[in-house]
Structure 1
Amino acid sequence: MIKKATLLEAIAGKNRGLLASPAEKTAILSAIAQLEDYNPTPRPVEAAELLDGNWRLLYTSSDELLGIDRVPVYNLGQVYQCIRAKEGKIYNIAEVTGIPYLEGMVSVVARFEAVSERRVQVKFNRFVVGLQRLIGYQSPNQLIDAIASGQKFLAVDFSIAERDQQGWLETTYLDEDMRIGRGNVGSVFVLTKVA
Structure 2
Amino acid sequence: MIGKTALIDAIAGTNRGILATEQQKQAILAAIANLEDLNPTPRPVEASNLLDGDWRLLYTTSKGLLNLDRIPLCKLGQIYQCIRVETTSVYNIAEIYGLPYLEGLVSVAAKFEPVSGRRVQVKFERSIVGLQRLIGYNSPATFIQEIENGKKFPAIDAALNSNTQQGWLDITYIDNNLRIGRGNEGSVFVLSKA
Band of TM-score, shorter chain: over 0.9
Alignment match, 1:127: 127
SS at match of 1:172: strand
User: What corresponds to 1:189 in structure 2?
Assistant: 189
1:135 counterpart letter in structure 2: I
TM-score, normalised with respect to structure 1? 0.99
Aligned to 1:42, the other structure's residue is in SS state coil
Q: Which amino acid aligns with 1:88?
A: T
Within 1, Cα distance between the matches of 2:6 and 2:182? 19
1:161 paired residue number: 161
Distance, in Å, in 2 between the alignment partners of 1:11 and 1:133 is 31
- Residue 164 of structure 1 deviates from its aligned partner by 1.0
Question: Shift of residue 72 of structure 1?
Answer: 0.3
Give the AA of the match of 2:113.
E
Equivalent residue of 2:101, what SS? coil
- The alignment status of 1:172 with 2:172, answered yes or no, reads yes
For residue 29 of structure 2, what is the amino acid of its counterpart?
L
Q: CA deviation at 1:77?
A: 0.3
Structural mapping, 1:27-106, within 5 Å? 27-106=27-106
Letter of the 1:48 partner, please give it: S
Please give the secondary structure, in 1, of the residue aligned with 2:59: strand
User: Equivalent residue for 1:145?
Assistant: 145
Structure 2 unaligned runs (5+)? none
- What per-residue deviation string (whole Å, max 9, x for no partner) do you get for residues 114-163 of structure 1? 00000000000000000000000000001000100110000000000100
Look up the equivalent residue of 2:3 and give its one-letter code.
Answer: K
Equivalent residue for 1:18? 18
**Identical aligned residues as a percent:** 63
Task: Work out the CA distance in 2 between the residues paired with 1:183 and 1:143.
Answer: 25
Q: Which letter does structure 2 place at the counterpart of 1:63?
A: K
The whole-number CA distance in structure 1 between the counterparts of 2:30 and 2:168 is 22
Partner amino acid, structure 1, of 2:30:
S
Equivalent pairs counted in the alignment come to: 194
State the 1:190 CA deviation.
0.3
Encode CA deviations 1:31-75: one digit per residue, 9 max, x unaligned: 000000000001000000000000000000001100000000001
In structure 2, distance between residues paired with 1:78 and 1:41 = 27
The amino acid of 2:94's aligned partner reads A
The gaps in structure 1 that reach 5 residues or longer are: none
The separation in 2 between residues aligned to 1:48 and 1:81, in whole angstroms, is 15
Q: Distance in 2 between matches of 1:62 and 1:162?
A: 20
Aligned-partner Cα distance in 2 for 1:140–1:12: 24
TM-score for both structures, normalised by structure 2 = 0.99
Q: C-alpha distance in 2, partners of 1:115/1:81?
A: 20
* Separation in 1, partners of 2:49, 2:175: 10
